[in-house]
Structures are given as C-alpha cells and as structure tokens.
C-alpha cells in the first residue's frame, strides 16, 4: 500500500503539461488487436491502467515496445488461452478487449472485469450489442463467453449512454460486412479519438461527435500511427487544484472544446481562468461562489470530475448541489471530506449538498477510487497541517506521477510505500 503525506497551505504556481488521455489510450491500444500490422501510438500516458492493458496485450501474444509515451504494438498471433486472468479481473477497461477479439478470432472466453468501486456497472449493454451484431453471448458471475463465426452489420440501439459499450461496438463493427448504425452512442472526446484512430486504420465511420454513429465494415484494417488527445479530466483536476489553493498555474496542451461546460461551470463558480490557444491559465480568484454540478453524458459535465468539483464546493460561498445520477457509489469521498472539516450532507446515493467556505484540517484518511483519490489530494493541499492518504496507489491508475508533478508546482507532498 502507498501513502501520500501532504503539508497543506501552499498555493500551486507554475506550468504543467497535460498528459495523454487515459480514457482514450485504453480503447485505442485495445483496437490494435484488430490488425496484424504494426501500430504506433504516441502521447500514451504512463499510468497503471495503461501498463496493465499493455501487459494483457503481451499475454495475448502481441509484441509491445514502449519508448516513453510512444508505444508500438504488433498483434500477429493471438493466444487467448494465455490471457492474464488476474489482470483482467483487476481493471474495468479490460472489457474493451471483447470487441476487437470477437472481430479478430470469433470466440472469446474471459473473466468478468474488475475496476474501481463506484457503483454497479453491468456489461449487459455490451452483450446485447454483440448479439445484435450476430454473436451468441453468455455470462455468469465468473466468465464471459462470446462466439460469432461471422459478425454482421446491425442497427444497435442502446437503452442509455455507455462509453465502453459504444467503443466495443465500434471495434466489432469496423470489419463486419454491411453498414451498422449505433443509436444513443456516447460522444465523449475519447470515443471520438477512438473513431479517428480506427479511421487511420482504414475503418469507415461517420457521425463522430454525435449520438448516432454509422460504421461501414471493411474487409481488413491495417496498421497506423496516431497521437492520443490530451486528457480533459486531468486538465480539469489540475485546474481545480490551482483554483482551490489560490495559485497561478498554466496548463499546457489543453483542448478547450473538450471542456466547454467544465470551463463554463468553473467560471460560474468564480474561478479566474483564461484560455490562450491550447493553454488554460488559472489565477487567484477574488471569491469562489456556490454552484450546481450534475454529471451527464458528453457534452455534459463528466462524472470523472464530480469529486474534484466537490472539494471546490467546500471553498465556495453558499450551498452547492453535486448530483451524479450515473453511478451510485461515487460519493464515498464525502465522508473523508467531512473528516477534514467539510460541511456536507449526503441526501441520497446520488446527491450531496456542500456548504462553504469551510477551513479544512489535516487528517488521516483513505482513497476509495481513482477520482476520489485525486480529490482528496486537492483537499490535502488546502488543509491546514498534515494530511495522510492511504491507498494512494489508486491514483496511479489515471494520473501520471501526480506527486512529482504537484511538487513542480510547489506542493509539499511525498509518497511512502508500506
């Protein structure tokens, strides 16, 4: 177990480059299984989820070479029998292997995926979509089994938005004969990034950025070179860290269009920010104001920034409403904020009222999941005294060398492995 120790009260100042998008890297790396030719993927974040996925690709027989943030993958021969089941069970994004493997080898047996404990995330949408594409799909508490001698084009309608299910269908349909239509498709920036990578491989996809995608299957995909987009969630997290510590931070390599509603909500909350090309500049705010945050599918506010906005609310004047209708298990961090001194009332598993501003005080707390971990780091940065956060390694799943990069901005944070 890793532990962060933070001495609070230090404003963040300086310049930070935003890493590649973790949520784009995992499906794009999985999509390299769709071809036996080399794929070169650049701006790959060096985070735990990506490292595990690369390990899974190796266990499937792919050749993987990594040079910093550039990864080269050649999946000439796939060996399903050698897949690392323990790694599959440790990460949610392993579900993204199902679509490309089904398209490539036609039969897949894999353990149920794992991941953060943020609520119930069944894979019914994935299996339903695969069945519409011509596969037979069964599952039990331990195993998923898919089989399709030949996938076929279909009109897939999701009952609700699902990012990973949309991504799986895109990969499975890319080589399915005919034209597939995906309705109620997710449109997040990382879904768009996967579409552009598949197009670079030879796929035919239209409707990118909308909730209806059309995929015309091609006989074969080829290798490609591609650069992953900057991570909008990381940009939003560091922007909130700068705002709450009353610092001045320039975030380089941001795509503002991926953060339109996030930036609007930050401005509504009184955050002093400017956009200069692909730089986002946060400066000390005169006063932070209460706001409403409701997680919604893109272009709405992302659920992955719900928790960071929660810590921002503790420093805003008035009562803020935080509503996450997507997951029922994402409010666990609130009890840790209360231990630090936050004035918060959990109304139900999806809603919390936070009244501020309140001073926070150092305590010994623990992380619950990836985004909660980053949130509690921000809380520790503004808390008086020393904050100790257990299970710090959860943050490594999606944030690259977070303590080192925060120290470059003046934070007093160290990591211990026990």
Q: How far apart are CA 9 and CA 3, in angstroms?
A: 19
pLDDT tens per residue across all 418 residues of the chain: 899 999 999 999 999 999 999 999 999 999 999 999 999 999 999 999 999 999 999 999 999 999 999 999 999 999 888 677 777 877 778 899 999 999 999 999 888 886 544 444 568 899 999 999 999 998 887 889 999 989 999 999 999 999 999 999 999 999 999 999 999 999 999 999 999 999 999 999 999 999 999 999 999 999 999 999 999 999 999 999 999 999 999 999 999 999 999 999 999 999 999 999 999 999 999 999 999 999 999 999 999 999 999 999 999 999 999 999 987 778 889 999 999 999 999 999 999 999 999 999 999 999 888 999 999 999 999 999 999 999 999 999 999 999 999 999 999 999 999 7
The verdict on whether 347 is a catalytic residue reads no
Of 21, 39, 116, 195, the active-site residue reads 116
Residue 114's pLDDT is 65
- Cα Rg of the chain, angstroms: 21
The neighbouring-strand residues paired with 388 are 5, 364
Q: Which domains does the chain have, with CATH numbers?
A: 2-18+230-417 (3.65.10.10), 22-227 (3.65.10.10)
Q: Would the pTM of this model clear 0.75, i.e. be above it? A: yes
Task: Please answer whether residues 165 and 126 qualify as being in contact, where contact means their C-beta atoms are separated by less than 8 angstroms.
Answer: yes
Helix (H), strand (E), coil (C) string for the chain:
CEEEEEECCCCCEEEEECCECHHHHHHHHHHHHHCCCCEEEECCCCCHHHHHHHHHHHHCCCEEEEECCEEEEECCCCCHHHCCHHHHHHCHHHHHHHHHHHHHHCEEEEECCCCCCCCCCCCHHHHHHHHHCCCEEEECCCEEEEECCCCCCCEEECCCCCHHHHHHHHHHHCCCCCEEEEECCCCCHHHHHHHHHHHHCCCEEECCCCCEEEEECCCCCCCCEEECCECHHHHHHHHHHHHHCCCEEEEECCCHHHHHHHHHHHHHCCCEEEEECCEEEEECCCCCECCEEEECCCCCECHHHHHHHHHHHCCCEEEEEEECCCCCCCCCHHHHHHHHCCEEEEEECCEEEEEECCCCECCEEECCCHHHHHHHHHHHHHCECEEEEECHHHHHHCCCCHHHHHHHCCCEEEEEEC
Q: How far apart are CA 20 and CA 176, in angstroms?
A: 30
Residue 116's pLDDT is 44
Q: Of 87, 89, 84, 162, whose CA–CA distance to 129 is shortest?
A: 162
Structure tokens at 350: 């999806």
Q: Would you call 286 helix, strand, or coil by DSSP?
A: coil
Residues 6+ apart with CB under 8 A from 109: 80, 143, 144, 145, 146
Per DSSP, 174 falls in state T
């Amino acid at each position: 177990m890793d532990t962060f120790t933070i001495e609070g009260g230090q404003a963040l100042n300086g310049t930070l480059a935003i890493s590649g998008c973790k949520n784009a890297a995992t499906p794009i790396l999985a999509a390299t299984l769709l071809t036996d030719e080399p794929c070169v993927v650049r701006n790959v974040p060096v985070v735990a989820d990506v490292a595990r996925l690369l390990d899974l690709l190796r266990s499937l027989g792919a050749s993987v070479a990594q040079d910093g943030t550039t990864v080269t993958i050649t999946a000439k021969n796939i060996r399903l029998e050698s897949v690392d089941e323990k790694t599959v069970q440790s990460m949610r994004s392993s579900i993204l292997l199902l679509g490309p493997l089904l398209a490539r080898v036609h039969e897949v047996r894999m353990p149920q995926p794992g991941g953060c404990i943020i609520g119930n995330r069944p894979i019914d949408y994935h299996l339903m979509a695969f069945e519409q594409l011509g596969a037979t799909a069964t599952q039990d508490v331990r195993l998923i089994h898919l089989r399709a001698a030949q996938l076929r084009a279909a009109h897939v309608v999701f009952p609700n938005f699902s990012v990973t299910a949309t991504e799986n269908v895109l990969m499975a349909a890319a080589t399915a004969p005919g034209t597939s239509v995906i309705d109620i498709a997710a449109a997040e920036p990382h879904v768009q990034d996967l579409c552009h990578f598949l197009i670079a491989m030879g796929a035919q996809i239209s409707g990118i950025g909308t909730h209806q995608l059309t995929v015309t299957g091609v006989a074969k995909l080829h290798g490609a070179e591609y650069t992953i987009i900057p991570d909008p969630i990381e940009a939003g997290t560091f922007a909130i860290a700068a705002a709450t510590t009353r610092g001045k931070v320039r975030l380089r390599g941001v795509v503002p269009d991926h953060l339109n509603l996030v930036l609007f909500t930050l401005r509504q909350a009184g955050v002093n920010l400017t956009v200069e090309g692909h730089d986002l500049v946060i400066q000390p705010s005169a006063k932070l104001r209460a706001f409403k945050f409701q997680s919604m599918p893109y272009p709405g506010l992302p659920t992955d920034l719900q928790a960071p906005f929660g810590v921002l609310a503790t420093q805003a004047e008035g009562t803020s409403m935080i509503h996450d209708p997507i997951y029922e298990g994402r409010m666990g961090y609130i009890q840790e904020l209360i231990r630090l001194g936050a004035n918060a009332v959990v109304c139900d598993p999806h809603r919390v009222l936070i009244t501020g501003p309140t001073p926070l005080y150092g305590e010994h707390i623990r992380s619950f999941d990836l985004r909660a971990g980053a949130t509690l780091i921000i809380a520790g940065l503004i808390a008086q005294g020393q904050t100790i956060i257990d299970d710090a390694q959860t943050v490594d799943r999606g944030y690259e060398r977070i303590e080192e990069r925060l120290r470059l901005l003046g934070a007093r944070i160290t990591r211990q492995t026990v």
